[in-house]
Chain A
């Protein structure tokens, strides 16, 4: 990006305006600014590197293809985090449904039918990717975050990892401010209890 504006000096809103003008470099700048925070949020939400990458890609493609519908009076970060969080929550809900059918289809009427529709889980070899994941998310705090409810997880990650203000989190998650505060307090409380043994 040798030519064009000095990107670091432009606000997100200004970069979006350039993107709306059809400048590819502006699109790339938006990806460059948010690829790491969006990916980190999604990775900690779904705890699967490959899936987090797919969801991050889906988030950016959705946001950038709808760049004309972005309203500049809101923060671009809120907008992109909202899309990312929705993608993660949708995925986690779908996964929850899949997990429920682990014992076979709820419509199966005989034990044979239940067995035939049940998900078969075989012995799984740890891939190099799994090893990287285990290292990245292996800390006690990461494990404790992974055990939080998805809503608490979003709130605590946005607040204390991404450093977003309560008001922005409320906007991102479409929740009342009071609910956001309660979720963050409960999440911190759960983390404190989960990690209590490490303090002693």
Chain B
């Protein structure tokens, strides 16, 4: 009978045999050595039995019980934002690029303004003049539109009598205050316990 080549199988050899990557020479030893073969075979049986063990699960409602004790993440929390930025190199690189872009554009804008102050002043004056002109035109259009309304004369004659105007303003103020008071009463919390009927 041919003696098996080399020493007996090491634990690593058995592991390699179990995963199917044992080299040819060691496999030859295994084929010729009943002692090693028996041990390897026994280990294979153990591994197969372990792999066949049932995957048991927790009782029903487990997820609900877990969720009842979990505080969910707030994506807008400052701490959370910081941790997300530093979560990986990629997120850190993206955040750094964004910060660099914002700071860079701000710096470029300030530098341009300082270098071109005349242009900036001229542009500001032009915008101011255009804005004032547009505002004045809008006001005039509004006033002429108001005067041309059919009810304008009656309102004007009403405003010509200070007594009537005062009475109307007083009535309007009274109505406003009554409305505010009623609203506060509606929004106030009940001062007494309210019985709940089952």
Contacts and interface: CB of A to CB of B under 8 A. Distances in A.
B11 A181 contact: yes
Given A28-B67, A191-B46, A36 B57 contact: yes
Contacts of A181: 11-12, 15
Contact of A161 (B15, B51, B69): B51
Given A24-B67, A27-B67, A37-B55, A53 B47 contact: no
Interface string B65-79: 111011111110001
A187 B52 CA distance: 17
B75 A20 contact: yes
Given A22-B75, A188-B43, A195-B46, A69 B59 contact: no
Given A141-B50, A141-B53, A192-B43, A65 B74 contact: no
Contact of A35 (B45, B58, B70): B58
B164 interface: no
B115 interface: no
Interface in B22-53: 39, 42-43, 45-47, 49-51, 53
Nearest to A73: B88
B62 interface: yes
20 contacts: A20-B75, A21-B73, A27-B67, A28-B67, A35-B63, A36-B57, A39-B56, A39-B62, A56-B62, A57-B66, A57-B69, A61-B66, A68-B73, A68-B83, A68-B84, A71-B87, A160-B46, A185-B15, A191-B50, A196-B42
Task: Give the 6 A-B residue pairs with the shortest CB-CB distance, closest first.
Answer: A160-B50, A185-B11, A36-B57, A60-B66, A31-B63, A39-B58
